[in-house]
Amino acid sequence: MTTLQKLTMVGERLLRDQLLDVLRRHGVSGWTITLAEGEGSRGVRASEWAGRNVQIDTLVSRETADAILEEVSERFFEDWALIAYTVEARVLRGDKYLS
Amino acid sequence: MTTLQKLTMVGERLLRDQLLDVLRRHGVSGWTITLAEGEGSRGVRASEWAGRNVQIDTLVSRETADAILEEVSERFFEDWALIAYTVEARVLRGDKYLS
Amino acid sequence: MTTLQKLTMVGERLLRDQLLDVLRRHGVSGWTITLAEGEGSRGVRASEWAGRNVQIDTLVSRETADAILEEVSERFFEDWALIAYTVEARVLRGDKYLS
């Protein structure tokens, strides 16, 4: 069992490929994506289902999580309603997620 | 980076608007919603996909999380198969989620 | 409030029934399932939406979580791109999830 960070990013679907590019550049090779509806502090509502948001989850080291969060913050937080956070996870055979 | 609680509630779709009202009344202005299928201790199965359940996630202070959980418990736990829990999260620019 | 483990497994949809059987055999009677798209270390991409992956979440004791993870590891990790991890959660009326 390895302790890793589950990194979650929720944002508009338009950001999907750019966010995955950030992950790849930081050596991440696996993630899951779910569709989400969101209402944020801007008051914009994605009312059509399977709407505007994607949630991207991945498992990374704390160091990688922090590097990704810093880049994401600098590039997207000014202009996009993006949410990003990490949660500590105990991962089965987690060593394979360490890049 | 701010330490917040990720509050998750999973319940029947019929509860959706009532749960969001609870969030709003506690000053929460952002959340994500995903569709979920569930099987619970009552043995009721939502077999049609995109079925009966919604999962609502939001990021709040511990104090707000506890207040929401208490209200949700009192109002819905008797009659509904509702799941509610919190997980500690490190949130990028998390101060904006503090109401 | 009870401290439990939120156990998450993400894998191909074909595994769904087998994974739920594992949960049932360990006394778990509730879970939620969401559809997820995934890209894993094998480079296989589930590009069709509502694609090849399911995410199964459940709340269990630490002991049950470890027993499930051990079985899942032995049975599926050789042949399947399965992800399994636990996160600590504070659960409202969580005692009912203890089997």
Per-residue pLDDT at A17 exceeds 90:
yes
Nearest to B87 among C6, C29, C30 (CB): C6
Q: Which domain holds residue A66?
A: 2-97
pLDDT of residue A40: 57
The predicted-structure confidence for A67-94, as pLDDT tens digits, reads as follows: 999 999 999 988 888 999 999 999 988 8
Query: Does the distance separating the beta carbons of A96 and C85 come in below 8 Å?
Result: no
ipTM: 0.84
CA distance A92 to B9: 26
Supply B12's token pair.
Answer: 């029947």
Number of domains forming the structure of chain A = 1
Nearest to C55 among A32, A90, A96 (CB): A32
Give pTM, 2 decimals. 0.88
CATH of the domain at A9: 3.30.70.120
Beta bridge partners of A60: A5
**Residue in A7, A37, A27, A18 with CA at minimum distance from that of residue A76:** A18
- Taking CA atoms, B46 is separated from A18, A78, A80, B13, in Å, by 35, 40, 35, 11
Beta bridge partners of C57: C8, C32
pLDDT of residue B37: 80
The predicted-structure confidence for C26-48, as pLDDT tens digits, reads as follows: 999 889 998 888 765 433 343 43
pLDDT of residue C40: 57
**A13-27, B43-57, C59-73, range with the lowest pLDDT:** B43-57
> Please, are residues C7 and C60 in contact by the beta-carbon 8 Å criterion?
yes
pLDDT of residue A7: 98
pLDDT of residue B13: 87
B99 falls in which pLDDT band (50, 70, 90)? Answer: low
One-letter amino acid for residue A18 of the chain: Q
pLDDT of residue A35: 82
pLDDT of residue A70: 94
Q: A74: helix, coil or strand?
A: helix
The predicted-structure confidence for A24-62, as pLDDT tens digits, reads as follows: 999 998 899 988 887 654 333 434 344 578 899 999 999
Chain A positions in Cβ-Cβ contact with residue B98 (cut-off 8 Å): none
The predicted-structure confidence for B29-42, as pLDDT tens digits, reads as follows: 889 998 888 765 43
A35 touching B (Cβ < 8 Å): yes
b/e sequence C34-68, b meaning 16+ C-beta within 10 Å: bbbbbbbeeeeebeeeebbbbbbbbbbbeebbbbb
- Which carries the bigger pLDDT value, residue B49 or residue B7? B7
Alpha helices in B6-80 (DSSP H): 16-25, 62-76
Alpha helices in chain C (DSSP H): 16-25, 62-76
CA distance A88 to C7: 13
Given a cut of 70, the residues of chain C with pLDDT beneath it are 39-51, 99
Q: Which residues contact C74 (CB under 8 A, 6 or more apart)?
A: none
B90 touching A (Cβ < 8 Å): yes
pLDDT of residue A99: 65
Nearest to C41 among A30, A90, A91 (CB): A30
